[in-house]
């Protein structure tokens, strides 16, 4: 796949329209890499001039901050801000709501001021500008879909409509869980919980959230976050429903609909 780095662009004296912030999950996790690839295919189809940082991209520091290590967060943030400002980056898009929230809300006070988009917002903009069209997909048409709101996209940043708008364009049957939008339940991975053992209780939170989803009798659980994707997929495995239900990022569904 043709994915230029900012260093390549700089060497050619070019400035891309947008920087794609891949994030830790999208870079290293085999399942999340598929989301990154699907989004890159969409960017190519819409002829978006973009670049990534490549090996110069480091963790945003989100997990360190949520786990209480403010010192490590600021070190990671300052290092990233130095790189981003060195490349004169103005606009960033990411598939990871954790990175989205941190770059958008926590970097400005440290000197990192950027226009930051979640990939569902960015794709919605491409559609409204006439640069991208979502095909009516015979593969997805009429499928029963439910959408899980990522905490850092929904409750933290009030972004509820762009993912739903994209899902509705796929010609699917969208059914909301009883806990959705501002009352949506966390998948269990936010706040650095992804990296620690579960606390005492009678049920894992991702299993509880998967039960919410299964009540809608979905064929597809749509997500907008690689960590939610992992947690919901694990929940589906726990419930032994892999044969009936798949967990897909919205970018993957759009890439599938457009035969990318």
Write down the pTM of the prediction.
0.94
Strands of the sheet containing 220-223, edge to edge, are 173-174, 144-147, 220-223, 246-249
pLDDT for res 56: 97
Answer whether 74's CB lies under 8 Å from 110's CB.
yes
List C-alpha distances in Å: 163 to 17, 169, 249.
Answer: 22, 10, 10
pLDDT for res 114: 98
3-state secondary structure of 112: coil
pLDDT for res 137: 67
pLDDT for res 197: 80
Of 128, 190, 130, 126, nearest to 154 by C-alpha is: 190
Label residues 159-177 b or e (16+ Cβ within 10 Å = b): bbebbbebbebbbbebeeb
Beta bridge partners of 116: 92
Average pLDDT by stretches of 10, the chain with 260 residues: 93 96 94 97 97 96 94 97 97 98 98 97 96 84 95 96 94 94 90 78 91 96 96 95 96 93
- Residue length of the chain: 260
Of 142, 136, 78, 133, nearest to 109 by C-alpha is: 78
pLDDT for res 188: 86
């Amino acid at each position: 796949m043709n994915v230029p780095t900012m260093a390549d662009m700089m060497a050619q004296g070019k400035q891309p329209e947008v920087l794609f912030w891949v994030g830790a999950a999208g870079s290293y996790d085999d399942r999340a890499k598929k989301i990154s690839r699907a989004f890159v295919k969409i960017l190519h189809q819409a002829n978006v001039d973009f670049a990534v940082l490549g090996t110069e991209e480091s963790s945003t520091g989100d997990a360190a901050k949520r786990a209480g290590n403010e010192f490590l967060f600021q070190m990671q943030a300052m290092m990233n801000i130095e790189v981003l400002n060195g490349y004169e980056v103005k606009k960033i898009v990411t598939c990871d709501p954790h990175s989205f929230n941190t770059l958008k809300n926590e970097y400005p006070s440290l000197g990192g001021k950027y226009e930051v988009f979640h990939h569902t917002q960015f794709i919605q903009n491409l559609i409204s500008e006439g640069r991208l069209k979502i095909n009516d997909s015979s593969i997805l048409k009429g499928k029963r879909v439910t959408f899980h709101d990522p905490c850092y996209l929904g409750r933290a940043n009030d972004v509820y409509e762009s993912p739903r708008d994209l899902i509705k364009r796929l010609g699917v049957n969208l059914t909301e869980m009883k806990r959705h939008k501002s009352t949506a339940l966390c998948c269990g991975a936010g706040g650095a919980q992804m990296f620690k053992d579960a606390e005492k209780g009678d049920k894992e939170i991702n299993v509880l959230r998967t039960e919410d989803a299964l009540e809608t009798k979905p064929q597809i659980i749509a997500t907008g976050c690689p960590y939610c994707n992992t947690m919901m997929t694990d929940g589906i495995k726990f419930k032994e429903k892999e044969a009936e239900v798949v967990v897909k990022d919205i970018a993957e569904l759009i890439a599938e609909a457009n035969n990318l």
